[in-house]
């Protein structure tokens, strides 16, 4: 038991927490942009599953994890166009149509997996570690910060990028405008549906990428691989109050909680049944956070409202 | 001409949604090198081909009906309940605990008791996110999803530890529960049990509650316009909590039926929560939407979708395409049904003789 609290294990646990935070971070950043534009995408979980399968299958067939990642991104983009068609053009209720996307993703990826792969075969994840050379001489801190793959750095680099995109560009201003007051934005000549479509496609592309990152991290695909991570990512957007840095904080918190539970179980500190209780922690935490956040911070005023000129 | 078409115009859109989903399914079947017609014929025969098939379909439709009726109540009150999965599980757990606590109670008393226990378990699990929405403004879509995750891990905790069947084989399941709690078989030769009657009774009660009681009137008023309801002196917060509690209770009853109507008469967690619930918490949303959020039509649509689930096994056998296809198609149906609501409103307006549409036609 006392073995758990060595510096080596704590460092390794934190490092794996950072890796586990990546899918949360990618999906939640994308969802945050979509929600800022007034569109709630509850289909994140389904798109993550589709992205995960695309990445897994591509990596399995071609042997290239990078190519798998690209395929995850592409299918996410395609799903974004579909979702934009459903919500922006057809004005479908966003919450329920997202559940439709989830069911589709859950069933479709299970179908493809059973039909195309059958028995689970592991794949090799990303191996490119651009800062590895720094890790050699910097000890524990180096292992914690510099031992990650290129994808991890990319994900965290996207935090300032998305922040800049939302707060410092015309596109970001338009996103916020159509999320808060689409009619005013429309009066000023902003294409509400165009901006929303762009935000949705961005969000879903990120969700596809998040699924791909997850599949490459775990190195395997199975039915319901994401196990609720996409839904937690949506909650993280509320947790982070629609701000990229807040979203990142939440993603890191959830990643580290997950890696700690996993490590405790692997080290035999806690049994399987206690691990089940510990695995509830992120969901319980989310509910508590939602209670605290919901009264304090206002969501984008036009969230979930389809836009029509006459009403 | 349009005089004869109009009364049926409202039905055109949901029917169109199913046809569209079947077309998507046919394309998928074709892509896997299977003949869509062979596949669909197997699906239909497997669902409605004879007495055994009809009974199997009825069995599959029970949880869909129960969850679906609950969804009708919640959605009509303006509350989106995505927590059916968790509510089924908590209903099943409480019902199992009751059966373990008092196994020797005579059957005519124990069977209704465990069903009510299921309703209580699911009702509590629904009331929590309901109260959080009503009194703290917590988005119920997110909280109910989190409650699903919590319930799933809670079930695996119980089945790995306190409730696991004693013995060498560590499978996540309870021992065989009291025979006094077995749901009686209705039709000899099939496995069709009391659960179907329970589901239909709950649907009728749901209908009476929603459309023939003052509570139902309040729930629908709150769903229609919470501000006006508040101005009219209704307790909006209480109504929201009641709606989610009732919705959860229906799902919880489904959980009890899944345990005591199963062939093994155990609570089984092996294979994960989705394997136990058969995704009914989500598929019930599909059947309720398809039934126009009306409890009695939801019974019919649940029977149809139960047929898809039962027939999915035959489809898999006939053309070697996994039955997961059915779940994927359910997702497509949801998207088409909610995506066509705008269209449906326009069609109905035309059916009711809207002048503008008439001119255009």
Q: Where are the domains of chain B?
A: 62-306
Cβ–Cβ below 8 Å for A101 and B272: no
Identify the residue with better confidence: B129 or B142: B129
Tell me how close the Cα of B40 comes to any Cα of chain A, in angstroms: 17
Structural domains of chain A, count: 1
Q: Does B27 touch chain A (CB under 8 A)?
A: no
User: Which residues lie below 8 Å from residue B150, measured CB to CB, with a gap of 6+?
Assistant: A280, A283, A284, A287, B86
Residue A170 lies inside a defined structural domain of this protein: yes
Give the mean model confidence (pLDDT) for residues B208-226: 94
Give the mean model confidence (pLDDT) for residues B273-299: 91
**At residue A175, does pLDDT exceed 80?**
yes
Mean pLDDT, all residues of chain B? 89
How buried is residue B57: exposed, middle or buried, by Cβ count under 10 Å (0-12/13-18/19+)?
A: buried
User: Which residues lie below 8 Å from residue A110, measured CB to CB, with a gap of 6+?
Assistant: A223, A224, B322, B324, B327
- The two structure tokens encoding residue A120: 């689970």
Give the mean model confidence (pLDDT) for residues B24-32: 92
3-state secondary structure of B189: coil
Listed range (A2-16, B75-89, B287-301) with the worst mean pLDDT: A2-16
**At residue B357, does pLDDT exceed 70?**
no
Whole-model pTM: value is 0.89
**At residue A62, does pLDDT exceed 70?**
yes
**At residue A140, does pLDDT exceed 80?**
no
pLDDT one-digit tens code per residue, A233-244: 998 898 888 899
> In DSSP terms, which residues pair with A201 in a beta bridge?
none
Tell me how close the Cα of B324 comes to any Cα of chain A, in angstroms: 5
Q: Residue B333's pLDDT is what?
A: 87
Nearest CA in chain A to B163: A273
pLDDT one-digit tens code per residue, B133-161: 999 989 898 899 899 999 999 999 999 88
Identify the residue with better confidence: B349 or B45: B45
Sheet strands (E) in chain B: none
Residue A225 lies inside a defined structural domain of this protein: yes
Residue A272 lies inside a defined structural domain of this protein: no
Q: Does B8 touch chain A (CB under 8 A)?
A: no
Cβ–Cβ below 8 Å for A96 and B150: no
Q: Residue B112's pLDDT is what?
A: 97
pLDDT interval class at A141 (50, 70, 90): confident
pLDDT one-digit tens code per residue, A296-309: 666 788 887 788 77
> In DSSP terms, which residues pair with B193 in a beta bridge?
B185
Helix axes of A229-239 and A192-218: crossing angle, nearest 10 degrees: 130
Q: Residue B2's pLDDT is what?
A: 47
Q: Residue A3's pLDDT is what?
A: 58
Cβ–Cβ below 8 Å for B142 and A106: no
Identify the residue with better confidence: A48 or A310: A48
**At residue B23, does pLDDT exceed 50?**
yes
- The two structure tokens encoding residue A194: 């165009």
Residue A236 lies inside a defined structural domain of this protein: no
> In DSSP terms, which residues pair with B185 in a beta bridge?
B193
Cβ–Cβ below 8 Å for A107 and B330: yes
Q: Residue B361's pLDDT is what?
A: 33
Give the mean model confidence (pLDDT) for residues A177-182: 92
Q: Residue A89's pLDDT is what?
A: 86
CA A206, distance to chain mean position in Å, is 7
Could you tell me the CA-to-CA distances from A106 to A52, B76, B84, B229, B306 in Å, in that order? 11, 27, 17, 39, 18
Choose among A189, A155, A193, A190: nearest CA to A171: A190
Asked whether the beta carbons of A303 and A294 are under 8 A apart, the reply is no
Which one of A96, A111, A283 has the shortest CB-CB distance to B338?
A96
- The two structure tokens encoding residue B63: 């949880």
Cβ–Cβ below 8 Å for B143 and A287: yes
pLDDT interval class at A295 (50, 70, 90): low
Q: Residue B348's pLDDT is what?
A: 64
Choose among A233, A218, A212, A240: nearest CA to A282: A233
- The two structure tokens encoding residue A184: 């005013």
Residue B118 to residue B248: CA distance in whole angstroms? 10
How buried is residue B354: exposed, middle or buried, by Cβ count under 10 Å (0-12/13-18/19+)?
A: middle
Which one of B161, B324, B342 has the shortest CB-CB distance to A273?
B161
Q: Residue B4's pLDDT is what?
A: 52
Cβ–Cβ below 8 Å for A92 and B330: no
Asked whether the beta carbons of B287 and B294 are under 8 A apart, the reply is no
pLDDT one-digit tens code per residue, A47-57: 999 999 999 99
Provide, as residue numbers in chain B, all residues whose Cβ is less than 8 Å from the Cβ of A93: 338, 341
Provide, as residue numbers in chain B, all residues whose Cβ is less than 8 Å from the Cβ of A106: 279, 327-328, 331
Residue B178 to residue A11: CA distance in whole angstroms? 50
Q: Residue B7's pLDDT is what?
A: 46
Q: Residue B352's pLDDT is what?
A: 61
pLDDT interval class at B11 (50, 70, 90): low
User: Which residues lie below 8 Å from residue A268, measured CB to CB, with a gap of 6+?
Assistant: none
Give the mean model confidence (pLDDT) for residues A66-83: 96
**At residue B311, does pLDDT exceed 60?**
yes
Q: Residue B353's pLDDT is what?
A: 59
Identify the residue with better confidence: A97 or B13: A97
Residue A23 to residue A45: CA distance in whole angstroms? 11
Q: Residue A289's pLDDT is what?
A: 82
Residue A264 lies inside a defined structural domain of this protein: no
Residue B95 to residue B93: CA distance in whole angstroms? 5
Could you tell me the CA-to-CA distances from B11 to A93, B292, B347, B353 in Å, in that order? 19, 10, 10, 16
pLDDT interval class at B167 (50, 70, 90): confident
Residue A50, sorted as left (phi over 0), alpha (psi -120 to 50) or beta, turns out to be: alpha
Residue A43: give the domain boundaries. 21-230
Q: Where are the alpha helices (DSSP H) in chain A?
A: 7-36, 44-62, 65-84, 94-112, 132-135, 139-146, 150-168, 170-180, 182-187, 192-218, 229-239, 244-266, 272-279, 281-296
3-state secondary structure of A131: coil
Largest CA distance in chain A: 67
Residue B278 to residue B85: CA distance in whole angstroms? 9
Q: Residue A142's pLDDT is what?
A: 76
Mean pLDDT comparison of A139-153, A247-261, B52-66, B161-175, highest-scoring range: B52-66
- Computed from CA positions of residues A179, A183, A187, A189, in that sequence, does the dihedral angle turn out positive or negative? positive
C-alpha dihedral (B63, B64, B69, B71), degrees to nearest 10: 110
């Amino acid at each position: 038991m006392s073995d758990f609290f060595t510096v080596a294990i704590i460092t390794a646990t934190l490092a794996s927490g950072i890796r586990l935070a990546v899918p949360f971070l990618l999906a939640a950043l994308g969802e945050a942009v979509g929600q800022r534009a007034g569109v709630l995408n509850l289909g994140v979980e389904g798109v993550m599953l589709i992205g995960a399968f695309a990445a897994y299958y591509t990596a399995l067939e071609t042997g290239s994890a990078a190519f798998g990642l690209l395929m995850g991104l592409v299918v996410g983009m395609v799903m974004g166009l579909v979702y934009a068609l459903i919500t922006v053009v057809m004005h479908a209720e966003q919450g329920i149509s997202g559940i439709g996307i989830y069911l589709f993703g859950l069933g479709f990826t299970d179908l493809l997996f059973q039909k195309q792969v059958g028995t689970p075969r592991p794949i090799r994840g990303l191996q490119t570690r651009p800062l590895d050379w720094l890790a050699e001489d910097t000890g524990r801190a180096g292992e914690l910060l510099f031992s990650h793959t290129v994808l991890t750095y990319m994900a965290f680099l996207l935090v300032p990028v998305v922040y800049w995109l939302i707060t410092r560009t015309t596109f970001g201003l338009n996103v916020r405008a159509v999320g808060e007051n689409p009619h005013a934005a429309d009066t000023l000549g902003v294409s509400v549906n165009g901006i929303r479509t762009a935000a949705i496609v961005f969000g879903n592309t990120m969700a596809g990428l998040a699924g791909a990152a997850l599949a490459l991290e775990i190195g395997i695909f199975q039915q319901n691989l994401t196990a609720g991570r996409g839904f937690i990512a949506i909650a993280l957007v509320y947790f982070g109050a629609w701000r990229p840095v807040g979203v990142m904080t939440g993603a890191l918190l959830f990643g580290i909680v997950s890696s700690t539970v996993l490590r405790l179980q692997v080290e035999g500190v806690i049994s399987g049944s206690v691990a089940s209780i510990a695995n509830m922690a992120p969901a319980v935490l989310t509910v508590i956070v939602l209670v605290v956040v919901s009264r304090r911070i206002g969501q984008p005023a036009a969230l979930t409202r389809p836009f029509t000129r006459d009403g | 001409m349009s005089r004869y078409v109009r009364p049926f115009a409202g039905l055109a859109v949901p029917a169109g949604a199913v046809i569209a989903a079947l077309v998507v399914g046919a394309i998928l079947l074709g892509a896997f090198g299977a003949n869509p017609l062979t596949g669909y014929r197997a699906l239909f025969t497997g669902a409605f081909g004879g007495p055994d098939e009809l009974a199997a379909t009825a069995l599959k439709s029970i949880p869909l009906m129960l969850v679906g009726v609950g969804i009708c109540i919640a959605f009509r009150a303006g509350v989106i309940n995505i927590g059916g999965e968790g509510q089924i599980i908590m209903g099943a757990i409480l019902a199992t605990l009751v059966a373990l606590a008092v196994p020797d109670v005579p059957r005519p008393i124990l069977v209704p008791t465990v069903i009510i226990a299921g309703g209580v378990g699911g009702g509590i699990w629904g009331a929590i996110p309901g109260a959080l929405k009503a009194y703290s403004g917590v988005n119920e879509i997110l909280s109910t999803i989190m409650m699903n995750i919590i319930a799933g891990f809670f079930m695996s905790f119980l089945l790995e530890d306190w409730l696991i069947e004693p013995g060498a084989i560590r499978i996540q399941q309870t021992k065989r529960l009291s025979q006094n709690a077995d749901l009686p078989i209705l039709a000899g030769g099939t496995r069709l049990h009391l659960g179907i009657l329970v589901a239909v009774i709950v649907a009728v009660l749901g209908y009476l509650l929603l459309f023939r009681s003052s509570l139902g009137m309040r729930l629908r008023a709150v769903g229609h316009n919470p501000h006006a309801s508040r101005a009219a002196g209704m307790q909006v917060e209480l109504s929201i909590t009641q709606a989610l509690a009732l919705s959860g209770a229906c799902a919880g009853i489904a959980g009890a039926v899944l345990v005591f109507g199963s062939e093994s008469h155990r609570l089984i967690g092996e294979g994960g929560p989705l394997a136990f619930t058969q995704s009914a918490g989500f598929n019930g949303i599909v059947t309720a939407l398809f039934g126009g959020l009306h409890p009695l039509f939801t019974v019919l649509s649940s029977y149809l979708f139960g047929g898809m689930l039962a027939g999915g096994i035959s489809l898999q056998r006939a053309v070697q395409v996994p039955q997961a296809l059915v779940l994927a198609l359910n997702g497509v149906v949801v998207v088409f049904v909610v995506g066509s609501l705008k269209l449906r409103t326009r069609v109905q307006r035309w059916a009711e003789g809207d002048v503008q549409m008439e001119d255009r036609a």
